[in-house]
Amino acid sequence: MTRTQMIMIAMGGSALLLGGAFLFQFAGYPPCKMCLWQRWPHAAAIAIGLLALGVKVRILALLGALAALTTSAIGFFHAGVEQGFWEGPTSCSSGSISGLTPDELLEQIMNAPLVRCDDIAWQFAGISMAGWNALLSLGLALVWIMAFRRA
């Protein structure tokens, strides 16, 4: 497989994952804040891939790998928040209600995000969308690295 083919696969993979995220949104699954964070590195990987196809500079493949690893890391963190392994950002997670006064609880309810990062909106084979993004993006990062290593 050529370097160009690997870049097209990696870039196309990001385009498919980003397109899938928009399709889920269109189908009634609004994204949370962390879901949106995962989209930006895919957009960057697509732009890097287009540039790498036109300009034969090897370092661009490493930048593509960095973009894919970034969205993968966010996806793994998000999946951990969904599973309750660790707390997510207070701006999009339910947080703890222990020790809150009734007024503080009401304030927390009134300021709660519309789409919480710690809720699993959809999953397949026991893996959430964030988890799938993490795993598939990790694979895309490997393709980017293979493209970098290809002369």
Q: Give the per-residue pLDDT at 64.
A: 98
User: Would 94 be classed as within a structural domain?
Assistant: no
Q: Give the per-residue pLDDT at 22.
A: 95
Q: Give the per-residue pLDDT at 37.
A: 95
Q: Give the per-residue pLDDT at 117.
A: 79
Q: Give the per-residue pLDDT at 96.
A: 59
Beta-strand ranges (E) seen in the chain are 123-124, 127-128
Cα–Cα distance for residue pair 144/142, rounded to 1 Å: 5
User: Would 57 be classed as within a structural domain?
Assistant: yes
User: Would 130 be classed as within a structural domain?
Assistant: yes
User: Would 21 be classed as within a structural domain?
Assistant: yes
Q: Give the per-residue pLDDT at 137.
A: 98
Q: Which two tokens stand for residue 131?
A: 């988890």
pLDDT, averaged in runs of 10, over the chain (151 residues):
96 97 93 94 98 93 98 97 87 63 68 72 92 98 96 64
Number of domains in the chain: 1
Q: Give the per-residue pLDDT at 97.
A: 58
Q: Give the per-residue pLDDT at 93.
A: 62
CB 50 within 8 A of CB 11: yes
User: Would 72 be classed as within a structural domain?
Assistant: yes
The domain containing residue 45 runs over which residues? 3-89+100-149
Q: Give the per-residue pLDDT at 4.
A: 95
User: Would 62 be classed as within a structural domain?
Assistant: yes
User: Would 109 be classed as within a structural domain?
Assistant: yes
Cα–Cα distance for residue pair 44/51, rounded to 1 Å: 11
Q: Give the per-residue pLDDT at 119.
A: 83
User: Would 115 be classed as within a structural domain?
Assistant: yes
Model-level pTM? 0.83
Here the CATH number for the domain that contains residue 119 is 1.20.1550
